Amino acid sequence: MNYLQITLISIVSIIHIYIVYLEMVLWTTKKGIKSFGLKNKEFAEETKVMAANQGLYNGFLAAGLIWSIITIKIDVAIFFSCCVFIAGIYGAYSTKKLEFYTSKLFQLH
């Protein structure tokens, strides 16, 4: 892997580690509630187990990306990068943020 690939994978890994922290530790705090646009503290409390599970999966993605850097294996990096990409597309679709971004994109023409 070259330096650009390692840098980009490192950035994505750091972002995922931060997401793990938000989902597993800060979910029910003001920061967590604001970051994820949750309705209120009660809702955050009701969903904290689900959020921790999401955080665990994000941790696995980060671990895989870090593993690809340590072992310098491009095939591992491609696999986990694809997983991140697919998760991002699904997340954008399921939260309707994809509609927002694509509508803004088409307004730029």
* pLDDT (tens digit per residue) in 90-105: 877 777 665 545 444 4
pLDDT of residue 35: 86
* Residue 109 counted as domain residue: no
pLDDT of residue 104: 44
pTM above 0.85, yes or no: no
Could you give the number of structural domains in the chain?
A: 1
Enclosing domain of residue 10: 3-78
Distances (CA, A) of 91 to 10, 35, 68, 96, 99: 21, 15, 24, 8, 12
Mean pLDDT of the chain: 86
The tens digit of pLDDT for each residue in 48-73 reads 999 999 999 999 999 999 999 999 99
Q: How far apart are CA 55 and CA 53, in angstroms?
A: 5
* Residue 92 counted as domain residue: no
